[in-house]
Each structure stands twice: as structure tokens, then as C-alpha cells.
Chain A
């Protein structure tokens, strides 16, 4: 057994607990030494503790500096703040890293997609500054700051450099929003000067959407303000097979939370029917972040092999396996390899 990591596990709601249990089974079988601390979040907490995000959960993440999180439900229009957004704010998790890579067995109409999106995660229209400025006009402030823009660009270029990526492009609408998106682009260009070995450039967000659908293989790393990032990361997930396989990480300078980006699918809760792959791939990202590369590779290889065989896959990819049966097949595949 290698170094022990203590990780906060937040199973979330709806199908979250059964997904996270399956993912834990796989990660534990990979040989990595993780002590899991289970904590709560979401609507169930609101009923039990009167808050969507209990202090105990915050303290656990603050202590361990790394968490794996299942899906949660954000109430729409009830006045409750999203627990996810609150977590990002509390820990200043400014970089939302969302890879979109073709999984070989999922047939898609493109030969190559291997994009890493770096979405600024704390500013823009998500600063929660909204007012009814008259009885027929609502206003939302779009907040873009120099240091907020600079650090996400710096984070992206550094990630690109460390992972052998060739191109980093800024996505914006600075032709229209000259102050806000203009500042974001200016900061990006300033950072790009520090990384002369990496090709940099920019693309206007609407053109970027069209190009992504027409020829996604041309993109490498994208840096986006929060709102465009929210939309384009889902677009990219759709290109490679949907949210069921889309991992995500919310990273700050001292803390990282890894999570799937799909919802909690409460109507399937308890049926062990849903595909846990998105949380599992997020777990693989987490292992790489913890420098547990061998365990990450082992899980990824076994997962691809199980998907390729199609004997023990979930309904969304044409199979009949339950969530835990799919996980067990991955574990069995890893044990065969060992």
C-alpha cells in the first residue's frame, strides 16, 4: 500500500449514493490507499440540518483539501442558493476543468476530439448580483476582474505545459462586451506572453460553437468566462457521448473537488440503473491529481475494456447491467490484469 490519502466523499442526492458506492468499490480495488470521510450536501441536508451545505462538510473539505462528489439537486426558483455554487465560492475553486475526449467504444461521427475546457468558475453573471431595478426591468451584473481572469488563464497555460498540450485559445465576446470580455481577453494575452512555446489565440464564442460542431478536432485547450464555459462544456460533453461520461474538477490554489456534471436523476434513485462512469472518470481525474497515475491508468483501461465488451454495461449504452454490476465488471477486469 502506498501513501494514504484522506478524501472527503460527498455521495450527493438521488442516484448519487449508489453511484458513489460503485465508484468507491472500483477505486478501492485499484490498489490506491484512500481513507474516505463521508459528508452530506443538498436538499436532504436542508430537511435534516436546515442548510444545503453543513459546516461539517465544509470543515472536512478544508481539512482534506480534496473531495469526490456525487450529483446534487439545485432547487429552481425557491430562493435557496445552489450548494455547488456555494462550495465553489467558499473554497474559491476558480478553475472548472472539463475534459472532453472521445471514448473509443462510443461511436461518434468524429475521428478525434480531445479538448480540455478551463472555465472560470467564480465570476461573470454568477456573482449573484441581481436586482429588479424597476417593476418591469431585471438586471444582473456581469463581474469580470483582472486577477480572476489572469489566474484562470495562467492555470490553463500551466496545465497545458505540464501535460504536453500545444494550443490554448481564449473564448470571448469582446467585440460586443468590450469592457468585461475585453478585460478577460487582455488578461489572457498578458499570460500568453509567459508561455511562448504554447500556441495561443482567441475565438468569438458564437463562432466557437459553430466550429465545435463542424470540426471539433481543431481545438485543444479552451479558456472561457463562466457563462460561456457553462454552455460550451456541455456542448463538448455532447460531442463525445453526453453527460454520462463527462468528468469535471473544480480546482483552487489549495483544494480540489472532483464531480460528475450530470444531475441527480431522482426518478431512478434506488434502482441501481444509472451509469456511474461520469463520477468514475472524475475519480480517475482525482487520482491523477493525487499523483496516483498507475491506479488511474489501471481503472481507465479496465473501464474501457468493459465498455468495449458490452456484456456488463448499463442501459444508456445498450446494456442491462446494474450500476454495481458494471462496477464489479471493472474490478474483475483489473484483477485479471494484476
Chain B
């Protein structure tokens, strides 16, 4: 008789995983960051405390802290090594970042949320 844990583990399905971008968490006191394309990565949006602050309308009332989530989507097929080059360039350009999260599609579906 399998345990509940064994039964749960056995339900895992094989999924097709594809790298499609990165979320970069940037720390800056100089306001909303601006980015040119970096290799195959193009900045799609920037959010602060979960609220999209670029592109588009930003309420002048909005509380922003010095920590921005910057979503970069790949404009062509990319590999993990492309992320390494991307991080090197970003760091060389003077950006201070706290974390990076790779964005994957699972069976063609985005495995990441959009910003409000």
C-alpha cells in the first residue's frame, strides 16, 4: 500500500519547459529604471510593489520603494548561457540587483504572473 506521499509523487506529469525571459529585481534610488535591449532580452514592463510603473499611466500618488521588478522577455530562442551574459551586461552597466527569476513556459503556458 503506497503512502500518501508516494501516491502524490507518482502523479507528477512530464511537462515541456521552455525559457522565455527573466524577472530582474533591481535596487535603485534613482526612480524607474530605463533599459535598452540587452542581447536577445527586451524589457516588457517594470513594476513596483506589484503595480506596473512602466510603460503606461502611473498615478502621482503611487507609493514606490527602491526595489523594482523588471521583466525581460526573450525576442528569440534563448538558453541559460544567454541569461548569464545578460546578467554580466546588466552588472557592467551599473545596475544593482537583488535577485533574478527565470521565466519558463510550461507546455506553452506562462508559468509567471503579469503585473497589475
Whole-angstrom distance between the Cβ of A101 and the nearest chain B Cβ:
29
In the bound complex, residues from chain B placing their C-beta under 8 Å from that of A94 are: 63
The reply on A272 being an interface residue by CB < 8 A is no
Contact A147 B65 (CB under 8 A): yes
Whether A122 and B63, one on each chain, are in contact in the complex, defined by CB atoms closer than 8 angstroms, is: yes
B112 in contact (CB, < 8 A): yes
The contact of B114 among A58, A81, A145, by CB within 8 Å, is A81
Give A122 to B53 CA distance when docked, in angstroms. Answer: 14
Q: Mark B48-64, 1 if CB is under 8 A from A, else 0.
A: 01110000010101110
Pick from B12, B47, B49, B61: contact of A148, CB under 8 Å:
B49
Q: Give chain A nearest CB distance to B20 CB in angstroms.
A: 12
CB pair A252 B50 closer than 8 Å: no
Give per-residue flags for B67-105: 1 if the beta carbon is below 8 A from chain A beta carbons, else 0. Answer: 001000000000000000000000000000000010110
Complex contact B115–A128 (CB within 8 A)? yes
Q: Considering the chains assembled together, what is the distance between the CA atoms of A104 and B50 in angstroms?
A: 41
Verify B50–A129 contact, CB threshold 8 A: yes
| C-alpha spacing A145/B51, complex, angstroms | 14
Tell whether, in the assembled complex, residue B61 and residue A252 are in contact, meaning their CB atoms are under 8 Å apart. yes
A-B contact pairs, 17 of them (CB 8 A): A90-B59, A91-B59, A92-B59, A92-B62, A126-B50, A128-B47, A129-B50, A130-B112, A131-B23, A131-B112, A135-B106, A145-B49, A148-B49, A151-B63, A252-B61, A253-B61, A254-B61
Q: Which residues of B contact A (CB under 8 A)?
A: 12, 15, 17, 23, 47, 49-51, 57, 59, 61-63, 65, 69, 101, 103-104, 106, 111-116
